[in-house]
């Protein structure tokens, strides 16, 4: 079990609290050190996509094609992949008496693997419960298990057209090759990657039922990666201007333009949001012009925009005839700023992402789907929006976010690292199970009349 009770370690309360590495990363490191497997677990990864090929021996992890089909709609959820995982970590019974949750993402080791698979394959994928275990000295064909049968994934259903049409289709398990780089990452890099992937995974999962929440999850996935990267080379003044150009204008109008560099350096980080949360909702005495305007986050917007400008891909290869987004630099930067402002307003002001950005995309003549909301303005549910305030549709940003996360992932891998790509199969094996998988050698006959070969 993942959750274990115990006592505090001897060094409790001493030194800096360091988050532990992700369990999937630790398990792979143990495999690299040739530690023996304690047991092997199999579980289903559920998806509404279909899969070809198989991928074996990513360290302790293999991905088997279940050839899943349903008699219902092709978009129905089904157990498409079998994850086979060698378990090499011994249980740690200690429970420290301090909070240590910077690494926490709300899932277990199998959820970590499923999230990375979801990101790599660009598909809805969730881990189901363990349903078969192999242990030393026991049945070589394993034993069925139902410990967590109540945790079967449930995909929310929507009667509308899909928000992310590209999710429905075939996925090639040979596209998991970059999963082999996981053990090459630093512990904190692996933790940041998995947290970002978990948010991306959940965004895909709820996109059709609650697209406004999918927007928040996608932006959060980029924020998580950007917080680890934080490689924005802008000066404090440039970051300040990106977030609060209006404040700079007010300072110049008041004849205090010379103070802009000092103000920018003084307000790196979060200003206003924390104070509003704890009750200081209004400054009682403004010491400089624009104090009331300077409410929110300075630096977070620049970090988000800088990350997307650095890592996001260019325009898709196939473009729609109508409803194209302008992928040139200035419109992209303006769109990123607007999207982050909408995220902040949704979280702190209770105003969801605009309705026009949460409608399914349209297509013409069976071509690529539109990338932006249609029209010059939109009115729905008592609200109105200008097209300038609704820069793109959800599937367009999902494309940009995934491309950015994958490009950032590549920078986490040391340049001098070498990886051994695992074997892939194009044709599924139909050989007897005993010929292709015998996890633990038997030391005693399984039956008095049988001998062990």
Task: Tell me the average pLDDT across 387-400.
Answer: 94
Task: Tell me the average pLDDT across 388-396.
Answer: 94
pLDDT score for 199? 98
Per-residue confidence band for 150, with pLDDT thresholds at 50, 70 and 90: confident
pLDDT score for 422? 82
Q: Mean pLDDT across the chain, nearest whole number?
A: 82
Per-residue confidence band for 390, with pLDDT thresholds at 50, 70 and 90: very high
> Does 2 have pLDDT greater than 90?
no
N-to-C CA span, the chain: 34
78-87: strand order across its sheet: 143-144, 126-134, 39-47, 78-87, 61-65, 54-58, 424-425
> Does 1 have pLDDT greater than 60?
no
> Does 445 have pLDDT greater than 60?
no
Cβ atoms of 422 and 58 within 8 Å: the answer is yes
Least confident of 232-241, 337-346, 423-432: 423-432
| C-alpha distance from residue 391 to each of 329, 342, 343, 387, 388 (Å) | 14, 11, 13, 7, 6
d(CA 161, CA 178) in angstroms, rounded, equals 32
| C-alpha distance from residue 351 to each of 66, 95, 169, 220, 383 (Å) | 42, 40, 34, 17, 11
pLDDT score for 9? 44
Quick one: 401 exposed, middle or buried, by C-beta within 10 A (0-12, 13-18, 19+)? Answer: buried
Cα angle 32-106-37, degrees, rounded to a multiple of 5: 25
d(CA 68, CA 50) in angstroms, rounded, equals 7
The pTM for the full model equals: 0.80
pLDDT score for 16? 65
Contacts of 329 (CB under 8 A, 6+ apart): 309
Task: Tell me the average pLDDT across 10-28.
Answer: 74
DSSP bridge partners of 378 = 385
Least confident of 281-290, 385-394, 441-450: 281-290
Per-residue confidence band for 233, with pLDDT thresholds at 50, 70 and 90: low
Length of the chain: 453
Q: What is the dihedral of CA 41, 42, 44, 45, to 10 degrees?
A: 60
């Amino acid at each position: 079990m993942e959750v274990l009770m115990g006592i505090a370690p001897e060094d409790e309360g001493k030194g800096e609290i360091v988050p532990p590495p992700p369990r999937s990363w630790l398990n792979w490191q143990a495999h690299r050190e040739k530690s023996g497997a304690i047991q092997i677990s199999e579980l289903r990864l559920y998806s509404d996509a279909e899969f070809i090929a198989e991928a074996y021996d990513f360290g302790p992890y293999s991905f088997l094609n279940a050839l899943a089909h349903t008699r219902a709609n092709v978009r129905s959820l089904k157990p498409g992949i079998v994850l086979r995982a060698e378990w090499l970590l011994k249980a740690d019974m200690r429970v420290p008496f301090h909070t240590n949750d910077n690494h926490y993402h709300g899932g277990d080791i199998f959820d970590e693997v499923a999230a990375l698979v979801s990101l790599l394959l660009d598909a809805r994928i969730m881990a189901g419960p363990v349903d078969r275990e192999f242990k030393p000295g026991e049945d070589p064909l394993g034993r069925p298990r139902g410990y967590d049968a109540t945790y079967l994934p449930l995909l929310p259903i929507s009667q509308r057209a899909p928000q992310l049409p590209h999710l429905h289709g075939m996925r090639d398990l040979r596209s998991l090759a970059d999963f082999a780089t996981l053990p090459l990452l630093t512990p904190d890099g692996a933790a940041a990657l998995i947290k970002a992937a978990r948010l991306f995974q959940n965004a895909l999962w709820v996109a059709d039922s609650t697209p406004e929440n999918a927007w928040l999850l996608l932006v959060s996935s980029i924020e998580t990666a950007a917080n680890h990267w934080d490689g924005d080379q802008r000066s404090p003044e440039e970051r300040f201007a990106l977030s609060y150009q209006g404040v700079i204008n007010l300072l110049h109008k008041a004849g205090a333009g010379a103070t802009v560099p000092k103000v920018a350096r003084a307000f790196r980080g979060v200003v206003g949001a924390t104070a509003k949360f704890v009750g200081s909702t209004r400054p009682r005495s403004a010491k400089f012009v624009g104090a009331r305007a300077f409410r929110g986050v300075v630096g977070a917007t620049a970090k988000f925009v800088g990350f997307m400008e650095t890592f996001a891909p260019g325009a898709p290869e196939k473009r729609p005839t109508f409803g194209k987004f302008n992928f040139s630099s200035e419109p992209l930067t303006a769109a990123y700023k607007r999207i982050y402002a909408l995220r902040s307003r949704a979280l702190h002001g209770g105003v969801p992402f605009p309705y026009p950005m949460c409608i399914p995309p349209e297509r013409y003549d069976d071509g690529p789907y539109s990338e932006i909301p249609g029209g010059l303005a939109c009115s729905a549910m008592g609200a109105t929006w200008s097209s300038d305030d609704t820069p793109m549709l959800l599937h367009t940003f999902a494309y940009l976010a995934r491309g950015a996360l994958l490009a950032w992932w590549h920078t986490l891998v040391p340049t001098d690292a070498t990886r051994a790509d695992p074997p892939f199969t194009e044709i599924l094996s139909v050989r007897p199970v005993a010929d292709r998988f015998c996890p633990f050698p038997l030391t005693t006959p399984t039956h008095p009349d049988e001998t062990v070969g």
